[in-house]
A and B are shown apart, each in its own frame.
Chain A
Amino acid sequence: MRRRVLWGLCASAFSVALAPVLAASGTTPSESGADGKGPGPAGGEERFDETYRGRRIAGVRHDAGRPGESGPSEWHVTVDGRPLHLMRRADGSWMSMVDHYQSYATPLAAARAAVDELGPDARLVTTGERHSRMEDSHTVNRNEHAEGEHRRGVHA
C-alpha cells in the first residue's frame, strides 16, 4: 500500500514517454519557468532543492522508470518533506493537485505554484486514502486499472 501511494505521487514514466509524441500534435512548453516565477531547472538537471516563500521544495528525477517499464524518468517532488502529487499534461507541462486548473513548464514551476496556493499554513496531506468505489467501476484494462489506482492515491 505504501509503495502504491508513493507511486501515485509521481508523474508516470509512461506519460513522460508519451510526451514527445503528443507534443508533436500540440504546443510544447517552454524550457524555463512559467509565469515569471523565475527559471525552472535546466533541461538536463536532475534535482532541485530550494526555499521558496519559506517552504522547502525539493524534487528528484528518477530515471529508473516503473518496474517492468523502461521509461525515461519521473519526478518525486516534496514541499516541506511532504509529497506533492504532480501530473502531466499532454503538452508535456506539469500540474499538481493543489493548483489544478493550470499547468507549468517544469516540475519546479509547478511546485512553486503549489506553494503559492498552499498559503502560509496549509500542509500537504500525506496519509493516503484509496477509494473503493473506483475499483468496481473502472473500465480500462487491468494494467491501466492498476495505474489508475496509483494515480488516484490522492489523499483525504
Chain B
Amino acid sequence: MVYTRKDVSTLTRSERRRFVNALLELKRRGEYDDFVRTHIEYFTPDGEAGLRAAHMAPSFLPWHRKFLLDLESALRRVDDSVTLPYWDWTRDRKRTAVPWTDDLLGGTGRRSDRQVMSGPFAHRNGKWTIKVGVTDTEFLTRELGRPRDPIALPTAKDLEAALKDPVYDTAPWHSGSAKGFRNKIEGWGPGRGSASWRTHNRVHRWVGGHMMGGASVNDPVFWMHHAFVDLLWLRWQRRHQGARYLPAKPLARGDAQRGRVVARNQKMPPWDVTPAQMEDQSRIYRYA
C-alpha cells in the first residue's frame, strides 16, 4: 500500500498531533537519538580520507532518502497513520508560519541563548532533551532567519537552476562539482560567505542553532527539510526521464575519488542498499 507524504501546511490538526506524538515517542524510547548519531558519524567532508556516503558526494540524495525511510518506518511502527510531511521552503517562508507553530515544531529560539521556548520540542515542556550532540546543550536551539546576520531562504528560482541541469552529478564528485543536479541541490557554492550557501545548505543556516551542526537531526525540521529535498530529486527524475544516478560505475584507478564515493551499484553504508535501489520508491510512498 503506497502511502502519501504531504506538504506540512496541509496537515489536519489530528495529523499534526499524531506526527508530533510519534516523534516524541521515538525520543522517549531512545530510538530517535540513534538517528542523530548516524548523521554525525557520516559527515565526512571531502578533504578527509575514506569513503563518504552522506554529504559532499553523489550519494547525498539516496543516502538521505534511505535515512528518511528508516525514520518514517520507525514513526509508522508507533502510529501507522503517520508519514513524513515536507516543508516547501519556497512557499512557507515566514518565521511564524508553518512549520513553526506551537502544534508542530514550535518557534524560533529566544535571543539570549537561542533556546526554543514554545511547542512540543521545547526543553521546558519535558519531552525533548538533547542527548547526542557536539556541545553540552540540553535544549533545542534555533535562530530562524539569523537576525544577527540575516539570510533568506532559497527561492523557486534557485531551485529551477538546479532542476534544469540534466546531469545527476559530475567530477570531481564532491563539494567542488560545479555542474550536476546533486551539488546544485546540496548547495556547496564556490567562494566564501552568504553567496556560497545554497539550496539545502542555506536552509540549514536559515534555521540555525542545532541545524547548523553535525547534530542537525536533533531538530525535527531536519526531516521535513529533507523530505522536500527528496521530492526535488523526484521532480528532477520526472523532468529528465532516463537520467540516472552517477557515477554509473566505480571510478577508474588513478582517480582521486576512487573508493571515496559510492557508484550506482555499490552499497551505501551503513545499509545494504545501492543508490540504484533507492532511485524508484514509487511502490513505497508518493508525494502530494
Nearest-Cβ distance from residue A116 to partner chain B, whole angstroms: 9
Whether A89 pairs with B114 at a CB distance below 8 angstroms is no
Whether B212 pairs with A121 at a CB distance below 8 angstroms is no
Whether B175 pairs with A90 at a CB distance below 8 angstroms is yes
Q: Which B residues are in CB contact (< 8 Å) with A98?
A: 134-135, 212-214
B contact patch SS: loop
Chain A residue at minimal CB-CB distance from B268 = A139
What separation, in Å, do the CA atoms of A25 and B174 have in the docked complex? 11
Chain B residue at minimal CB-CB distance from A99 = B212
Q: Which B residues are in CB contact (< 8 Å) with A99?
A: 212-213
* Cβ proximity bits B149-192 to A, threshold 8 Å, 1 near / 0 not: 00000000000000000000000101110000000000100111
What separation, in Å, do the CA atoms of A139 and B273 have in the docked complex? 13
Q: How many chain B residues have a CB neighbour from A under 8 Å?
A: 53
Q: Does A26 contact B (CB under 8 A)?
A: yes
Whether B196 pairs with A120 at a CB distance below 8 angstroms is no
Whether A19 pairs with B47 at a CB distance below 8 angstroms is yes
Q: Which B residues are in CB contact (< 8 Å) with A95?
A: 45
Whether B44 pairs with A151 at a CB distance below 8 angstroms is yes
Whether B47 pairs with A97 at a CB distance below 8 angstroms is no
Q: Which B residues are in CB contact (< 8 Å) with A118?
A: 135
Chain B residue at minimal CB-CB distance from A13 = B49
Q: Does A64 contact B (CB under 8 A)?
A: no
Q: Size class of A's contact patch?
A: 35 or more
Q: Which A residues are in CB contact (< 8 Å) with B40?
A: 97, 152, 154, 156
Q: Does B30 contact A (CB under 8 A)?
A: no
What separation, in Å, do the CA atoms of A87 and B193 have in the docked complex? 18
* Cβ proximity bits A82-108 to B, threshold 8 Å, 1 near / 0 not: 000101111111010111111111000
Nearest-Cβ distance from residue B78 to partner chain A, whole angstroms: 21
What separation, in Å, do the CA atoms of A119 and B209 have in the docked complex? 9
What separation, in Å, do the CA atoms of A123 and B113 have in the docked complex? 12
Chain A residue at minimal CB-CB distance from B176 = A26
Whether A144 pairs with B270 at a CB distance below 8 angstroms is no
What separation, in Å, do the CA atoms of A122 and B215 have in the docked complex? 14
Whether A100 pairs with B214 at a CB distance below 8 angstroms is yes
What separation, in Å, do the CA atoms of A154 and B215 have in the docked complex? 10
Whether B196 pairs with A147 at a CB distance below 8 angstroms is no
Q: Which A residues are in CB contact (< 8 Å) with B270?
A: 133-134, 137-138
Nearest-Cβ distance from residue A92 to partner chain B, whole angstroms: 7
Within 8 A of A (CB), among B214-235: 214-216
Partner-contacting stretch, out of B5-13, B96-104, B197-205, B278-286: B197-205
Whether B192 pairs with A12 at a CB distance below 8 angstroms is no
Q: Which A residues are in CB contact (< 8 Å) with B259?
A: 140-141, 144
Q: Does A117 contact B (CB under 8 A)?
A: yes
What separation, in Å, do the CA atoms of A133 and B112 have in the docked complex? 37
Chain B residue at minimal CB-CB distance from A136 = B270
Whether A92 pairs with B47 at a CB distance below 8 angstroms is yes
Q: Which one of A11, A91, A104, A117 contacts B176 once the chains associate, using CB atoms below 8 Å? A: A91
Q: Which one of A101, A104, A145 contacts B201 once the chains associate, using CB atoms below 8 Å? A: A101
5 more CB-based (< 8 A) A-B contacts, given A35-B192, A102-B205: A26-B190, A123-B136, A125-B136, A133-B270, A137-B270
Q: Which residues of B contact A (CB under 8 A)?
A: 33-34, 36-38, 40-41, 43-51, 56, 112-114, 131-137, 141, 172, 174-176, 187, 190-193, 196-197, 201, 204-205, 212-216, 256, 259, 267, 269-271
In order of increasing CB-CB distance, the 6 nearest A-B pairs are A88-B47, A26-B176, A90-B46, A97-B214, A137-B270, A122-B135
